[in-house]
C-alpha cells in the first residue's frame, strides 16, 4: 500500500513538474514573440500593404440560428471590416424567428437563385437572397441542421477562395481580416488556416458593434476567464503555432482555405468541438499526404466574445469544451504518437490528451489520495505543505507572467486599478476556480464514460451593443 | 527533496514579485512618457502645420527648439510629408534636409538596435527625401532583420524610386522580405518599376512568373501585353491564370483570341480566369463560348463564364431557365434584380 | 478669397488626425469656416445641424464609411444638395466609381496635394 502510494506520489510530482516546465518554456517564448511583434508594429507597413490588390478575396460565413436580435448589427459590423474584397454569406439555419425578415428590411434583399456547390452534403437550402443595397451580402435560408451544417452550407455558397467563419455574437476588431490574412499574403501556397486572439467582452463598452473601451467585468467568474484567455492565447497558441501544431482556431473568427476544407469534408456535425476537430482533421489530411502547409496563429486581437457569468452557464461551457476535446481526440486517436503527423502527433495531441483531457482526473485523484497518503504515513505533511505552496506560487507566477505579456504587447486595459484587480485574482484562482473547472471537466468525463449524451443548455444571448440604435438609423 | 521544492518555490515567488514590480514600473513610466509625448506633440502641432504650408517665420522658430522637441517635430513633419503628394511633399522633404533630420535618420539606419533601424527606415519613406534612397537600398540588401528590410522596402516604394524596382524584385524572389511588402512597394513605384519586372518574366520559379504577370496586369499597359501573351501559354497553371486576368485588366483587345483559347485549358482555375478576363475585355464575340462554358463546365469556370456573359451581353443571359444550368439562372436573376455585381479582376 | 460676410462652412469627416488637421489648416488659411468630425455618424449629425456649404469625406471611416455617409446625405432632404468631395486611399480603385454612384461631386486621392484640394473645393463651390 505504502509503495503504491509512494509511486503515485512520484507520478504526480513528475506530472506536475513536466506540465509546469512546458508552461514556463511557453511563457518564455511567448515573451520573445510578442515583444517582437509590438516593436514591429511601429514600423510595419501593414495598413497600406494589406489593403492591396494582392489581398485574397474572402467570403465571410455567418451562421445564424434565431438571431433576430443581433443579426443586422452583426452584418453591419462585418461591412465595417477594413478589407478590400469581401463577400458576406449569412446562413439562416431554419430560424423560427424573424432573422431573414430583419435582414430583408435592413438590406433590401431580393431572391436570387444562387448556384450552390455540392462539395459538402448539408440540409436542403430553401431559398437564397442577395442584397440590392450591398450586393456583397448573400443570405442562405436552409432547413435546420446546427452550426456545423450551416457553415457547410455557407461554404457551398461562398464565391471566394478563402473563408472566414464567424459568429453572430462575436464583436470584431475593424482590422481583424487584415490581421488574419497577413500570413496568407506572405505565403499564399502554404497557409491553409489562420486565427487570432479572442478576448472577453464582458465589462467592455461597445458602441455600434465596436469595442470602444476595454474594461474588466464586474462578475468574478468572468475576471477569472479574462486571465484564462490571456494564458490560452498569449502563451498557448503562440507556441503551438510556432511548433506547427496549432489545434484550435476559434469558431468565433477563423480563416480557412476553401479547397482544403472541401477536401476534408467540411465541418463535422456530430461534435460539440467542431472548431478543434476541423483543424485536427486538416492536419491529418495534409500531413497524411506529406504536403507542406501552415496553420498559423496571428498574435493580434481579432474578436471579442461573451463569457458566461453564472456557475451554471460556465459549467455547461466547460463541459461542452471537455466533451468536444474528447470527441476530437477520440476521432483522431490514431494520430497520437505517429511520427508521420509531426508535432501534431508527437506533441500537441499527446499534450491535450494527458494534460487537458485526463489532467482533471489525475488532479482529482491526487486530491482524494493525499489525505489517505498522509494518514498511511506515506507522505510527510511538511513535504505536502511545501509542495502546495510551490504549486500555488507557480500558478500565480504563470498568470502574472501572462498579465505581463499583455502589458508588454497590447495593453488594452488602460486603468491600473484593473491590472491590480487581475493580479489579486491570479492568487484567488487557485482557491476554488481551478478546482471548479476541473470538477466540471471530470463530471463530463464520467458522463461520457457512462455513455450519456450532452445535456447542457445553450448560453443565453443578451445581445451586444446598441442594436436598437443602429437599426433605427438605417 | 523537500528543500529542493522549497528553493524552487522561493525562486518562483521572487520571480512573481519581480514580474509584478515590472508591470507596475512599466505602467508608471509609460503613463509619464505618454503624457510628455502627448504634451510635446500638442505643443508642436501648430508649428508643424505652419511648416507644412511652407511658412518661413515658422521655420525660423524651429532653430531654437530643444533636441527632443526637434526630433518629435521631425517625426510629425515626416508623417505630414507622407500624407502629401508632389511638390508639397518635396517642400517638406527639403525642409527636413535643411534641418539635418534626414542625415540623422540615415545615421540611425546603422544603429545596433533593431527597432531604431526599423523606425528610421520607416520614417525615411514618409519624409520623401531622395537622399535616403541609397542608404535604404543598402538596408534592403544587407540588414540582418527581416522587419527592418521590410520597412526599407516599403519606404523605397513610398519614395517612388525606380532604381529600387530591380532590387525589390530580387528581395522578393529571394524571400528577403515578405512577398506582400515587396509587391506593394513595386505597385507604389508604379509604371517606372516595369522594366525591372519584365526582366523577371522568364524566371525559373513559377511563383515569380505568376507575380510578374499580376504586377504587369496592375501597372502595365498595351506595351506590356506582349509579355503576357507569352505568359498565358506558360507551363504552370497559376502563371497562365494570372496572365489571363492581367490581360483582362489591361484590356488588350488583341487578347480575345488567346483568352478564348484558354477557355479550353486543362485546369479549371485557368478557364475561370480566362472567362473573367473575357468579361472585362468587352468583346462580344466571346459570348457564345462563354455561354457554353457557363452551361457545361465545372463550378468555378461556369460561374465566371455566366457572369462574364451577363456583363458582355445581358440579353444573352436574361430569362435563362433550368436547362441552362444554375449559373446562368443566377446571372439572370441578378440582372432581373438590377444587381451588377460582376467579378473584379 | 472670400470675405467674412460670405464665409463658407466646410465639414471635414476624417478619422486620421493628421489628414484632418492638414486639410482643416489649409482650408482655414484660405478663409473657410471648418467643422470637424472623426467618424461617419458624427459627420452626419453635424451636417444636419450646421448645413455646411460643402463636405469633404474620407471613404474609410469607423461607424459609417464615406460612401454610406454620401448616400445618407443625399437621402436627407435638408442637406441633399450639399456638394461632396470624397477622400480615398490610392489603393481603393473601386471606391471612386462607387463614390460617384453614391452621389459624390468630386474625389481626391490620398496622399494628396493641399493646393489641388483647394482648387477642387473652389471649383465645386463655384459650380453651385
For residue A399, count CB atoms less than 10 angstroms from its CB and return exposed for 0-12, middle for 13-18, buried for 19 or more.
buried
Question: The cell 452626419 sits on which residue?
Answer: C44
Look at residue A461 in the predicted model and tell me its pLDDT.
Answer: 45
Residue A454, pLDDT score: 65
Provide the 8-state DSSP code for A294: E
Question: Judged by CB atoms within 8 Å, which residues 104-133 of A form the interface with C?
Answer: none
What pLDDT score does A262 carry?
A: 94
Point out the residue among C18, C25, C113 whose CB comes nearest to the CB of B85. C113
Closest Cα in chain B to C21: B49
pLDDT in tens, C31-76: 999 999 998 889 999 999 999 999 999 988 777 788 889 998 998 8
Output the DSSP codes for C75-126.
Answer: HSGGGTT--EEEEEETT-HHHHHHHHHHT-SEEEEESB-HHHHHHHHHHHHH
Task: Give, in order, the Cα–Cα distances in Å from A193 to each of A85, A400, B290.
Answer: 18, 30, 33
At C91, the pLDDT band (50, 70, 90 cuts) reads: low
C111 with B45: Cβ contact below 8 A: no
Return d(Cα A275, Cα A328) in angstroms, integer: 10
Contact C102, C122 (CB under 8 A): no
The 10 Å CB-count burial string (b at 16+, else e) for C75-106 is eeeebeebbbbbbbbebbeebeebbeebbbbb
With CB atoms and an 8 Å threshold, state whether B83 touches C110: yes
Average pLDDT, chain B: 88
pLDDT tens digit sequence for B190-233 = 888 888 888 888 888 888 899 899 889 888 888 888 899 999 99
% helix, strand, coil for chain A, step of 5: 55, 15, 30
Number of other CB atoms surrounding residue B111 within 10 Å: 14
What is the Cα–Cα distance from A352 to A322, expressed in whole angstroms? 11
In eight-state DSSP terms, residue B6 is H
CA distance B53 to chain C (A): 8
- Cα(A177)–Cα(A56) distance, integer angstroms: 10
Distance between CA atoms of A17 and A9, rounded to whole angstroms? 12
Q: What whole-number distance in Å separates Cα of residue B121 and Cα of residue B106? A: 8
In the prediction, which pLDDT does A3 show? 79
**Cβ contact, residue pair A85, B344, below 8 Å:** yes
The mean pLDDT value for B102-119 works out to: 92
- Percent of chain C whose pLDDT exceeds 90: 50
Angstrom distance (rounded) from CA A332 to CA B294: 40
Using CA atoms, how far apart are residues A470 and A90, in angstroms rounded to an integer? 19
Whether A210 and C89 lie within 8 Å, measured CB to CB:
no
Distance, CA of C63 to CA of B319 (rounded, Å): 40
Among B47, B79, B80, B83, the residue to mutate for chain C (most C Cβ within 10 A): B83
Buried b (16+ CB within 10 A) or exposed e, B282-293: ebeebbebbbeb
Residue C5: pLDDT over 60: no
Burial of A88: CB neighbours in 10 Å, binned 0-12, 13-18, 19+: buried
Q: Chains near A, with 3+ CB pairs < 8 A?
A: B, C
CB contact under 8 A, A51 and C91: yes
Nearest to B52 among C22, C94, C112 (CB): C22
Contacts of A234 (CB under 8 A, 6+ apart): A30, A34, A197, A299, A402, A405, A406, A409
Task: Select from B2, B12, B151 the Cβ nearest to the Cβ of A43.
Answer: B151
Torsion sign over Cα B27, B28, B33, B34: positive
User: In which residue ranges of chain A is pLDDT below 70?
Assistant: 1, 42-51, 454-474
Of A50, A404, A416, the CB nearest to B22: A404
C35 phi and psi, to 5 degrees?
-115, 135
Phi and psi angles of residue A420, each rounded to the nearest 5 degrees, phi first: -60, -40
- Answer whether C4 touches B (CB < 8 Å): no
> Which residue of C18, C109, C110 is in closest CB contact with B79?
C18
What is residue B129's three-state secondary structure?
coil
Pair A395, A430: CB distance under 8 Å? yes
pTM score:
0.86
What is the three-class DSSP state of A399? helix
The residue to which cell 457569468 is assigned: A309
Interchain CB distance below 8 Å, C89 and A51: yes
A84: closest chain C residue by CA: C92
The mean per-residue pLDDT over the stretch C1-30 comes to 83
Whether C1 shows a pLDDT value over 50: the answer reads no
**What is the tally of helices (H) and strands (E) in chain B?**
20, 0
With CA atoms as reference, the chain C residue closest to A173 would be: C62
pLDDT, tens only, B3-23: 777 788 888 888 888 888 888
Q: What is the ipTM of this complex?
A: 0.88
CB atoms within 10 A of CB B74: 23
* Interface chains of chain C (3 or more CB pairs under 8 Å): A, B
Give the per-residue pLDDT at A374. 80
Nearest to A130 among B12, B179, B334 (CB): B334
Helix, strand and coil content of chain B, in percent to the nearest 5, comes to 80, 0, 20
Instruction: Tell me the C-alpha distance between B179 and B316, whole Å.
Output: 41
Contact status of C25 with chain B (Cβ, < 8 Å): yes
pLDDT in tens, A70-80: 899 889 889 88
**Nearest chain B Cα distance for residue A56, angstroms:** 11
Amino acid at each position: 500500500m505504502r509503495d503504491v502510494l509512494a509511486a503515485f506520489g512520484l507520478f504526480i510530482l513528475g506530472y506536475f513538474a513536466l506540465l509546469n516546465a512546458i508552461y514556463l518554456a511557453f511563457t518564455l517564448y511567448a515573451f520573445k514573440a510578442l515583444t517582437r511583434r509590438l516593436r514591429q508594429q511601429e514600423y510595419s507597413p501593414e495598413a497600406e500593404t494589406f489593403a492591396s490588390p494582392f489581398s485574397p478575396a474572402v467570403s465571410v460565413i455567418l451562421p445564424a440560428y434565431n438571431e433576430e436580435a443581433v443579426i443586422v448589427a452583426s452584418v453591419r459590423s462585418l461591412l465595417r471590416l477594413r478589407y478590400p474584397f469581401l463577400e458576406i454569406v449569412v446562413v439562416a439555419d431554419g430560424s423560427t424567428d424573424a432573422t431573414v425578415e430583419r435582414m430583408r428590411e435592413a438590406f433590401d434583399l431580393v431572391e436570387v437563385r444562387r448556384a450552390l456547390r455540392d462539395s459538402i452534403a448539408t440540409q436542403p437550402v430553401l431559398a437564397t437572397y442577395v442584397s440590392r443595397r450591398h450586393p456583397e451580402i448573400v443570405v442562405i435560408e436552409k432547413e435546420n441542421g446546427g452550426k456545423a451544417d450551416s457553415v457547410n452550407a455557407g461554404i457551398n455558397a461562398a464565391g471566394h477562395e478563402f473563408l472566414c467563419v464567424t459568429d453572430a455574437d462575436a464583436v470584431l476588431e475593424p482590422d481583424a481580416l487584415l490581421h488574419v490574412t497577413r500570413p496568407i499574403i506572405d505565403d499564399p501556397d502554404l497557409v491553409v488556416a489562420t486565427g487570432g486572439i479572442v478576448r472577453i467582452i464582458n465589462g467592455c463598452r461597445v458602441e455600434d458593434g465596436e469595442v470602444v473601451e476595454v474594461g474588466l467585468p464586474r462578475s468574478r467568474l468572468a475576471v477569472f476567464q479574462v486571465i484564462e484567455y490571456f494564458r490560452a492565447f498569449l502563451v498557448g497558441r503562440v507556441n503551438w503555432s510556432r511548433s506547427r501544431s496549432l489545434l484550435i482556431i476559434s469558431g468565433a473568427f477563423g480563416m480557412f482555405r476553401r479547397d482544403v476544407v472541401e477536401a476534408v469534408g467540411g465541418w463535422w456535425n456530430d461534435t460539440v468541438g467542431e472548431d478543434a476537430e476541423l483543424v485536427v482533421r486538416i492536419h491529418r489530411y495534409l500531413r497524411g499526404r506529406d504536403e507542406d502547409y501552415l496553420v498559423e496563429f496571428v498574435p493580434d486581437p481579432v474578436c471579442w466574445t461573451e463569457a458566461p457569468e453564472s456557475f451554471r452557464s460556465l459549467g455547461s461551457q466547460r463541459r461542452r469544451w471537455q466533451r468536444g476535446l474528447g470527441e476530437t481526440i477520440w476521432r483522431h486517436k490514431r494520430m497520437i504518437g505517429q511520427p508521420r503527423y509531426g508535432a501534431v502527433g508527437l506533441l500537441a495531441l499527446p499534450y491535450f490528451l494527458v494534460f487537458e483531457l485526463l489532467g482533471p482526473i489525475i488532479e482529482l485523484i491526487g486530491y482524494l489520495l493525499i489525505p489517505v497518503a498522509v494518514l498511511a504515513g506515506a507522505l510527510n505533511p511538511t513535504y505536502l505543505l511545501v509542495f502546495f505552496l510551490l504549486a500555488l506560487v507557480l500558478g500565480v507566477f504563470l498568470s502574472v507572467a501572462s498579465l505581463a505579456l499583455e502589458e508588454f504587447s497590447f495593453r488594452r486595459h488602460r486603468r491600473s486599478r484593473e491590472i491590480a484587480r487581475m493580479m489579486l485574482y491570479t492568487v484567488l484562482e487557485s482557491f476554488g476556480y481551478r478546482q471548479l473547472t476541473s470538477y466540471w471537466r471530470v463530471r463530463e468525463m464520467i458522463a461520457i464514460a457512462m455513455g450519456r449524451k450532452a445535456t447542457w443548455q445553450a448560453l443565453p444571448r443578451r445581445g451586444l451593443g446598441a442594436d436598437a440604435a443602429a437599426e433605427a438609423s438605417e | 527533496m523537500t528543500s529542493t521544492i522549497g528553493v524552487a518555490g522561493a525562486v518562483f515567488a521572487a520571480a512573481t514579485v519581480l514580474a509584478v514590480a515590472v508591470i507596475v514600473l512599466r505602467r508608471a513610466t509609460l503613463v509619464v512618457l505618454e503624457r510628455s509625448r502627448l504634451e510635446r506633440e500638442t505643443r508642436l502641432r501648430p508649428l508643424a502645420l505652419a511648416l507644412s504650408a511652407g511658412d518661413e517665420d515658422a521655420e525660423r522658430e524651429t532653430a531654437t527648439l530643444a533636441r527632443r522637441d526637434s526630433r518629435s517635430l521631425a517625426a510629425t513633419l515626416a508623417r505630414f510629408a507622407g500624407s502629401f503628394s508632389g511638390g508639397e511633399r518635396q517642400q517638406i522633404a527639403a525642409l527636413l534636409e535643411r534641418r539635418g533630420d534626414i542625415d540623422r535618420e540615415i545615421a540611425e539606419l546603422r544603429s545596433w538596435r533593431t527597432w531604431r533601424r526599423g523606425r528610421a527606415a520607416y520614417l525615411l519613406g514618409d519624409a520623401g527625401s531622395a537622399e535616403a534612397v541609397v542608404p535604404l537600398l543598402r538596408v534592403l540588401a544587407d540588414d540582418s532583420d527581416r522587419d527592418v528590410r521590410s520597412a526599407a522596402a516599403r519606404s523605397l516604394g513610398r519614395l517612388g524610386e525606380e532604381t529600387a524596382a530591380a532590387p525589390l524584385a530580387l528581395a522578393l524572389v529571394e524571400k528577403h522580405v515578405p512577398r506582400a511588402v515587396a509587391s506593394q512597394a513595386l505597385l507604389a513605384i508604379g509604371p517606372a518599376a516595369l522594366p525591372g519586372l519584365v526582366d523577371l518574366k522568364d524566371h525559373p520559379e513559377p511563383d515569380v512568373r505568376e507575380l510578374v504577370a499580376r504586377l504587369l496586369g496592375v501597372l502595365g499597359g498595351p506595351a506590356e501585353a506582349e509579355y503576357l501573351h507569352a505568359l498565358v501559354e506558360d507551363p504552370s497553371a497559376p502563371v497562365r491564370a494570372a496572365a489571363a486576368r492581367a490581360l483582362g485588366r489591361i484590356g488588350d483587345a488583341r487578347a480575345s483570341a488567346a483568352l478564348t483559347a484558354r477557355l479550353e485549358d486543362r485546369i479549371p482555375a485557368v478557364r475561370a480566369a480566362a472567362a473573367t478576363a473575357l468579361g472585362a475585355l468587352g468583346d462580344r464575340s466571346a459570348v457564345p463560348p462563354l455561354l457554353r462554358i457557363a452551361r457545361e463546365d465545372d463550378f468555378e469556370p461556369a460561374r465566371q463564364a455566366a457572369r462574364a456573359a451577363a456583363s458582355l451581353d445581358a440579353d444573352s443571359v436574361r430569362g435563362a431557365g433550368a436547362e441552362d444550368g444554375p449559373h446562368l439562372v443566377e446571372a439572370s436573376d441578378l440582372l432581373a434584380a438590377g444587381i451588377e455585381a460582376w467579378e473584379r479582376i | 478669397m472670400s470675405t467674412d460676410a460670405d464665409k463658407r462652412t466646410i465639414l471635414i469627416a476624417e478619422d486620421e488626425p493628421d489628414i484632418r488637421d492638414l486639410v482643416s489648416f489649409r482650408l482655414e488659411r484660405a478663409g473657410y469656416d471648418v467643422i470637424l468630425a472623426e467618424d461617419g455618424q458624427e459627420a452626419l449629425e453635424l451636417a444636419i445641424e450646421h448645413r455646411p456649404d460643402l463636405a469633404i469625406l474620407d471613404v474609410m471611416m469607423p461607424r459609417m464609411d464615406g460612401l454610406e455617409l454620401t448616400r445618407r446625405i443625399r437621402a436627407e432632404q435638408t442637406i441633399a444638395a450639399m456638394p461632396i468631395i470624397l477622400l480615398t486611399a490610392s489603393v481603393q480603385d473601386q471606391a471612386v466609381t462607387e463614390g460617384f454612384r453614391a452621389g459624390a461631386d468630386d474625389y481626391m486621392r490620398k496622399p494628396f496635394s493641399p493646393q489641388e484640394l483647394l482648387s477642387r473645393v473652389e471649383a465645386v463651390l463655384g459650380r453651385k
